[in-house]
Structure 1
């Protein structure tokens, strides 16, 4: 089984605009398990979790922030992972999972490390205690707020006491450090943003590495042409439409002129969409590449004022394409009740692609009693209908002649069944 885990220090999820960016990345990564550090949420809520784009089939656990500092959120796809046990510490959340596919049991620990020496010692004690809780394969991921090697800082410097302490702890716990791909550092800051370091990492036991590999991806096909509501958010688009419409000269009856101008407008939109606007996913990916480019440049040297502005423009451009993509999927779903930026989850994303709706019941209330087990639900519904049909002869069907009564709409609206959907 291949397992994909995403760990990310998001530096706050209490801002709606930032959650849109997070959601775009989450949806693209299609991870089975998500771990967000520094949520800055004193009390995590279901609404915030779902607004991050984790999907309908999710479960989650959170370590609340203290004030506006810290906080960890771990969430996962229940179709892939089943939680068996969990522990919430001061600097970590640990979850014991069982894979739905193969029944493999393993442990994940999400970490957000402290800054002071005294608190780091408490963190090492906490991680050591976690290692003694379970014997299953173990993976840790998160922002440890410390480095392991001199090369993990752009300034290199000397070997610190933190490094000397970190290395033997990994040996003692039998943990292997994952190498980074795509870059050398995960954090930047300091004066003029010129300090770079690797503070985020994944660690795992050899037994965990033997079981899993990293991978994943996403595929999308082209969509048929339609008028996209997201075009209305493009600067100058309405003026463009007005110019096209006023520039069309058509003679004939009013109905013919309308039909002819609409046909020509459709062709203009097709050409503009293909040659100017471009494919949404490609534009978003290109915008993200620009952001990553300036990040790499800034790792090597200080940015000029002009380059700093261009980096800011790149980030704003990426946020714009994320917003447009969200509007596109909202239209595709045709869910009028859906608030933009609030519930565009992976579940609805897949529903739009497949053009079908998956209906399900988590539980049902019959005669005032909630039932959740499959067998209980089946027996409860059968018993309720049996009682209903037995008590009301007008509802019975003549089995001998196979005649069934057709209920009219007014009659149907007045019926009250002895059970209700959750």
Structure 2
């Protein structure tokens, strides 16, 4: 099986109409695993999930929002993957999965990064800790809320120390930062354009899914673009 994973900062799931709009797009993209960040929900139950994913075979784990901010939900199609274990942290939700078709084991983590540099260091530590927990091929995706290079921020040329720390985390964990097709940025306020969202994969993931790539998807009525990791090739 060659999975498709969608990651998207949706800026809130409180409105039913918005959830139905997201459901329409997810049906169009045909993903096997979906990670939505900034849900702004303390509880995500089956009723909410059913308005996001039309299949009856969906399962999920989530990180509750803190007040009216934050929150992550990771959903998956149980016909394609079976969850083995999960981890709910401060800034991430991680799961180990087994493929229903061939039994291949792998791990995925969905991230919603903080805005403060001190807290970002906690995120790097959290990623490193969970990465060492499961000795599996890894994919880590989401809104990291930080760029790596000046070329990833248009209209704001200042590069923060957190960018160097982010790159060091990627290097220390031997992760691969895939290039992004479909455009250079994933967030915009119409004055600045920035790449905050990405997928990072381990060499073991790349060896198993040799045609893996990531693409920026269409953005409608949102300041964030969703991104798709496609392991089936262009």
TM-score (norm 2): 0.88
Report 1:8-407 matches (<5 A): 8-155=8-155, 157-189=157-189, 193-212=190-209, 213-214=211-212
Q: Which moved more, 1:51-60 or 1:103-112?
A: 51-60
* Secondary structure in structure 1 of the residue aligned to 2:140: strand
Work out whether residues 61 and 73 of structure 2, in 8 Å CA contact, stay in contact via their aligned partners in 1: yes
* Secondary structure in structure 2 of the residue aligned to 1:41: coil
CA distance in 2 between counterparts of 1:30 and 1:168 reads 34
> Who wins on radius of gyration, i.e. which is larger?
1
* Secondary structure in structure 1 of the residue aligned to 2:94: strand
Aligned residues: 218
CA distance in 1 between counterparts of 2:54 and 2:96 reads 19
* Secondary structure in structure 2 of the residue aligned to 1:19: helix
Deviations 1:124-165 (CA, angstroms, capped at 9, x unpaired) = 111111011011101001000000111111125243211111
CA distance in 1 between counterparts of 2:200 and 2:212 reads 13
* Secondary structure in structure 1 of the residue aligned to 2:181: coil
* Secondary structure in structure 1 of the residue aligned to 2:180: coil
Structure with the higher fraction of residues in helix conformation: 1
Work out whether residues 148 and 163 of structure 1, in 8 Å CA contact, stay in contact via their aligned partners in 2: yes
CA distance in 1 between counterparts of 2:32 and 2:191 reads 34
The Cα of 1:188 is off from its aligned counterpart by 1.1
- Matched with 2:227 is none
* Secondary structure in structure 2 of the residue aligned to 1:125: helix
- Matched with 1:4 is 4
CA distance in 2 between counterparts of 1:160 and 1:53 reads 38
CA distance in 1 between counterparts of 2:169 and 2:39 reads 27
The Cα of 1:214 is off from its aligned counterpart by 4.6
Work out whether residues 155 and 191 of structure 2, in 8 Å CA contact, stay in contact via their aligned partners in 1: no
CA distance in 2 between counterparts of 1:129 and 1:176 reads 18
TM-score (norm 1): 0.50
CA distance in 2 between counterparts of 1:140 and 1:6 reads 12
Work out whether residues 39 and 71 of structure 1, in 8 Å CA contact, stay in contact via their aligned partners in 2: yes
Structure with the higher fraction of residues in strand conformation: 2
> Runs ≥4 in structure 1, deviation > 3 angstroms?
none
* Secondary structure in structure 1 of the residue aligned to 2:146: coil
CA distance in 1 between counterparts of 2:145 and 2:48 reads 25
The Cα of 1:40 is off from its aligned counterpart by 0.4
The Cα of 1:183 is off from its aligned counterpart by 0.9
Report the CA distance shift for 1:102/1:60 in structure 2 as closer, same or farther (over 3 A). Answer: same
User: RMSD over aligned Cα, in angstroms?
Assistant: 1.9
CA distance in 1 between counterparts of 2:84 and 2:122 reads 26
Work out whether residues 3 and 214 of structure 1, in 8 Å CA contact, stay in contact via their aligned partners in 2: no
In the alignment, structure 1 segments of 5+ residues that lack a partner are: 216-287, 296-422
CA distance in 2 between counterparts of 1:166 and 1:126 reads 12
CA distance in 2 between counterparts of 1:115 and 1:156 reads 16
In the alignment, structure 2 segments of 5+ residues that lack a partner are: 223-234
CA distance in 2 between counterparts of 1:79 and 1:145 reads 32
